[in-house]
Chain A
Amino acid sequence: MEQMEAGLPEFPSGTEDWLTAARVAALCAEFRPDVEEEQVADEAGSCYNCRYRRWSVDSITCCKRQRPG
């Protein structure tokens, strides 16, 4: 969590830490919801529902840092 909050791309809490993912997203100015069919968290604002997250085997990665600019 601290890594992601500090701007590093990887979410270290895995794929089902719903509370932390919601808390981080609430603090993130870059959060944008993904399309409906790709949302998996009940909380609308969740890193797991963000269009800038990329699923990996064990977690998600934040792609904001890969965007130009």
Chain B
Amino acid sequence: MRILVSIDDTDDLESRGTGELASLIAADIETNGWGKSSFVTRHQLLVHPDIPYTSHNSAMCFAAEICADALDEVIAHASSFLARESAAGSDPGLCVAAVDGLAAPDEIMAFGRRAKESVITKEEAYAAARRLGVHLSEHGGTGQGVIGALAGAGLRLGGNDGRLKGAIPLGHPGGVISVADLSRREDVDAVRTLDGLPLDGNEMVRVGEKVKTVMLEGKAVLLVSAAAAADGPAWQTCPRQQLKRY
């Protein structure tokens, strides 16, 4: 069965990031033989004076294919992990959603979109989770992280939000690689322009610093922009500043 595991509000200014904790839970799923985990995505939620957050208000989510009878173990493990590993004073929340069993996929996706635009209460999040049939739990502090955790699952399910955790190792900046070679990589599902257009495999791309992918149409997409230099390849990987809005 396919599940989404989403966490939020686990860190403080000095602790490990929420993304690292998500990666560790993802790795534990594989180590324990429960299934295979996918990449972690970061989802930006609303920044607003009425919302408590450490520094950026983002949720982290990953998908996993697990044995159906391992679901309870995964939830128990992630719960105890967050209770143990989250920073003191943080407000961690956990959402585990079995995708095939979702009562209303549109509703969890709408919840995610709403969390990027509106202030949402914990009570609303728990009520939505009950309607949707997803696991939602808090593991310390105020438990405020349940809102972002549920939102992160909805945004990941929608497939058109967020940046993937980690950089794509493409060698030294300044190198040149074809779109075909980029597309053959396991960590790149597609190469698109910033306007969303696909490129022919023979198009060439100059590699920049810290190359990252974003999630579009459920895929890990490497975005490129028109190259600044008149000579050389027509395209370049997008600098991080251009990916900030994802």
Identify the A interface with B (CB < 8 A).
16, 18, 34-42, 51-57, 63, 67
Contacts and interface: CB of A to CB of B under 8 A. Distances in A.
B55 A37 contact: no
A36 B165 contact: yes
B130 interface: no
B55 A40 contact: no
Given A16-B241, A56-B47, A57-B48, A36 B55 contact: no
Contacts of B77: none
Interface of B is mostly: loop
A41 B244 CA distance: 8
A59 B55 CA distance: 12
Given A40-B240, A56-B47, A35 B55 contact: no
29 contacts: A34-B17, A35-B17, A35-B20, A36-B19, A36-B165, A37-B17, A37-B60, A37-B163, A37-B165, A37-B166, A38-B17, A38-B55, A39-B210, A39-B240, A40-B240, A41-B241, A42-B239, A42-B240, A53-B55, A54-B56, A55-B47, A55-B55, A55-B56, A55-B57, A57-B47, A57-B49, A63-B13, A63-B55, A67-B13
Is chain A's binding surface mostly helix, strand, loop or mixed? loop
A34 B13 CA distance: 9
A38 B58 contact: yes
B42 interface: yes
Interface string B24-64: 00000000000000001010000111000011111010000
Interface of B: 13-14, 16-17, 19-20, 40, 42, 47-49, 54-58, 60, 163, 165-167, 209-210, 239-241, 243-244
Nearest to B16: A35
Given A55-B47, A55-B56, A41 B17 contact: no
A14 to B, nearest CB: 13
Nearest to B14: A51
A28 B53 CA distance: 24
A56 B13 CA distance: 16
A51 B13 contact: yes
Contact of B166 (A36, A38, A53, A54): A36
- Which interface residue of B14, B49, B163, B240 has the most chain A CB atoms within 10 A? B240
